[in-house]
Amino acid sequence: MIKLAPSILSADFAKLGEDVVRIDKAGCDWIHIDVMDGMFVPNISFGMPVIKAIRGLTNKFFDVHLMIEEPIRYLQQFKEAGADMVTVHVEACEDVEKTIDEIHKLGIKAGLACNPETPVDDIVPYINKVDMILIMTVHPGFGGQSYIDECTEKVEIVNAIVNEYRLDTLIQVDGGVNTENVCIPLDAGANVIVAGSAVYKGDVEKNIEVFKNKFISFE
C-alpha cells in the first residue's frame, strides 16, 4: 500500500494543531515532520516540544525527518516526544550504522536519507539495515521547490535492490511532488510520498483524495 505523508512544514503555523487534525481526518497515512537545526540546512523548524504538543492530537504515524548535524545526540528525545520513525541523513552522521542501531534500540523505525547531490552508492550499504530509504528530490531546508528529475534514477536503483533481495524496506520521496508529477516517483518504485504545499494549498481534503486516487493504479 502506498502511503501519503503530508509535510506539516507547509501547514499554517498559527493553527498547526488544527492543520494536523485536518489532514488526519482527510485520510493521510503518515504525518511528516521536518526538523531543521540551521546547521545541516540553513533553516530552523520544529523541535521536540512541538512534536510532543501535536502528538496528543492524532494517532497517525509520526515520520520525523531529522535534517540536523549528528542526530545521534537527540534520538532519545525525539522518541520520547512521539516519533514512530526517525530518518537521519547519511551526510550528517559520523557513524551511520551506529546511528541506525541506536534508533532501533529505542524500539522505533529507522530511515536513512540522501540529498540530491549525494551518490546513491553512499546509501546502498544500509538498505537492508533500515526500515526506509528517503530520496530527497529537492535540496533540503525549504518547502515549495521543484522536483529534481535526476533523482528519479536513485529511486529506481534502490527499488531494484529492494526487489532483488526481497527486502521490506520502504522507499520515500520528499520534495516537489504534486498531483501532476507523483506518477514519476511511483513508477520508479517509491511507496511513501511526502507532499507539503501540494496538500496544504487550496482544498486539503480534495488534494489528499486526488493523491490517493493516483496511488490506486500503482498498488
Annotated binding-site residues for a divalent metal cation read 32, 34, 65, 174
Residues forming the annotated binding site? 7, 32, 34, 65, 141-144, 174-176, 196-197
| DSSP track, 18-37 | HHHHHHHHHT-SEEEEEEEB
Task: Give the up-direction half-sphere exposure of residue 154: CA atoms within 13 A in the CB hemisphere.
Answer: 27
Q: Give 2's DSSP letter.
A: -
Known binding positions for substrate:
7, 65, 141-144, 174-176, 196-197
**d(Cα 162, Cα 189) in Å, to the nearest integer?**
10
Catalytic positions: 34, 174
Q: Which three cell numbers stand for residue 12?
A: 499554517
- Give the distance, in angstroms, between the CA of residue 27 and the centroid of all CA atoms in the same chain: 17
